[in-house]
Chain A
Amino acid sequence: MLNKRVRFNKQGSTLALYLGLLILLLFLPRIIQGPYYRHILVFTLMYVVLAQAWNLTGGYVGQIALGNAVFFALGAYTSTLLVMRANVTPWIGMWVGGVVAALVALALGSVVLKLKGHYFAMATLAIGEIMRLWFSNWKFVGGAQGFSVPLRGSSWYYMQWTSKIPYYYIILMMAVLVTYLVHRLDRSKYGSYAKAVNQDEIAARSRGISAFRLKQASFALTAFITALVGTFYAQYVLYISPQSVLIMSLSILVAIIPIVGGVGTVWGPVLGAVFVFPLTEFLRAQLGGQALGLNYIFFGLAVIFVVMVEPLGLVALINKIGQAIRGGRGGAHAGTEH
């Protein structure tokens, strides 16, 4: 009885916490004024989604991908080409881009997912660079100059607005939905199988789990979600080029965020994005052109910090602090009983 009530209270308070967070996020653009700060909000949420996508392959089945810019670019280029050449609304273009990216991931995955550890990371890194060079020299996709998305003012059909507010709500919705999806996946059989494959692939396969199929599915899902964000980015910035959407630093950032936040967890990518992105953006803005690349030094330090202090990331750190507080309270409570 008592046990039940305690559990109910705990569930209730978790639910209240999520609801409170959601309400805060809904009103955040009212609290935070100014285009620059709102821009940081939009980008932080964008990185939440990108990091969640990366985490499915990198965190759950444990294949560290360093070429996710490929899928990001496929999403951005597909929807942009469709709207420019065939006047197809980006609302449809984004799904086409997602499917294209997922198919490319399946094709690439059938080869590279056989590689493990560093080899897989190196292969995906190389694929990203190959595609950047290829797109830089391919006229059909605008070559090195890329495309400016034709301006249409504020238009739902063309998914573009002069204000940042609609973008904020679109990316917020994506972040909430994708986080919920990962939460569901974490609780499903997929969550258990993926963790098993990650911990000991041979043991997982000897229990009949098809590790390769699981990796393929994860990689395709990663690509699909990443490409959706690619379309969003193209519509938000209204300019894409190999230098903006196919850069290695994007691929690396979407990997660093979940590593700092906590790989293979639902909230790791969220915490990681909220912690890493605004900080790097702040550093970049403060230092300007004086110390180009200092934000990479910061990434390096952040990763070293995580590996040394808490390899499981911010999520584990927060859990530990929570336990310490609860443990302290519990101890005091037990003390009064005796």
Chain B
Amino acid sequence: MPVLSIENLTKRFGGLVAVDSVDMRVDSGEIVGLIGPNGSGKTTLFNCVAGYYKADAGEVRLNDEVITDKRMEVICEKGLYRTFQLPRAFPELSVLQNVLLATQHKHEGLLNILLRAFSDNLVVRAKELAEFVGLERLISEPAGNLSGGQQKLLELACALMKEPQIILLDEPTGGVNPTLINDIKARVREMNADGMAFFIIEHNMQVIMDMAQRIYVLDHGTLIAKGTPEEVRNNEQVLEAYFGK
């Protein structure tokens, strides 16, 4: 059963068609990869799905509910959590507070927000998640003091705090050292073993071939290939897109 299904999604910037009637889907419990050369429209696609951009055409469904053109925060609360290529932690807030901010906001009344602090249960949960991604010793450190890789791990903890249906990761290993890459991979695998679905943009071919069950390939906004890592690796169009004729 698909958690996320994208049909005929199109996004134009003036004359440029950044995403051209793309169909994709991610089933529950799956890790799906999204690759393509620079400027092929991967992040634009994520931005349309997560509500950052308004799509020009097409439909996005989360668990059969249409979420096209809903606001970012609404889509997030419905269970689609996305991270950014450049981690967007709140630099002046502590690691713990960063995780706490990603708690579910759906049922929070305004008075509750204005007058109550985070409940002890949430604080305990946030600490567990910080521990899960290996940041337990940095819990009260301002997030701005973390390295790029640690901030990517922090994003994973935030994503889990939300307890979403699916997590969209935009280059989770970009600019991260090999040891931390293994950490990130291991955490994603563990989360996936617990049933979490992932949709991952990744430039590191080894990483994505290793992790994803299926892969989509975009080039100039169009879907040029899809299939298992093996199929994609041997696809001529893909090789052409990356290396030229």
Contacts and interface: CB of A to CB of B under 8 A. Distances in A.
A207 B116 contact: no
Interface string B74-95: 0011000010100011111100
Interface in A184-210: 184-185, 187-190, 192-193, 195-196, 199-200, 202-210
Contact of A207 (B52, B91, B101, B112): B101
A10 interface: no
A196 B73 contact: no
B197 to A, nearest CB: 18
B154 to A, nearest CB: 12
A213 interface: yes
Contacts of B104: 208
B108 interface: yes
A209 B102 CA distance: 8
Contact of B73 (A189, A200, A205): A205
A192 B126 CA distance: 15
A127 interface: no
B91 A199 contact: yes
B93 A199 contact: yes
B114 A208 contact: no
B105 A208 contact: yes
B52 A188 contact: no
Contact of B97 (A185, A192, A204, A217): A192
Interface of B (DSSP majority class):
loop
A203 B162 CA distance: 14
A209 B73 contact: yes
Interface string B91-120: 111000100111011101010111111100
A185 B90 contact: no
A211 interface: yes
A199 B76 CA distance: 19
B73 A203 contact: no
Contacts of A208: 73, 76-77, 102, 104-106, 162
A184 B116 CA distance: 9
B208 interface: no
B230 to A, nearest CB: 34
Given A202-B72, A207-B76, 14 more contacts: A184-B115, A185-B114, A188-B113, A188-B115, A189-B118, A195-B90, A195-B93, A196-B101, A200-B90, A203-B90, A204-B90, A208-B77, A209-B105, A214-B113
Interface of A: 184-185, 187-190, 192-193, 195-196, 199-200, 202-211, 213-214, 217
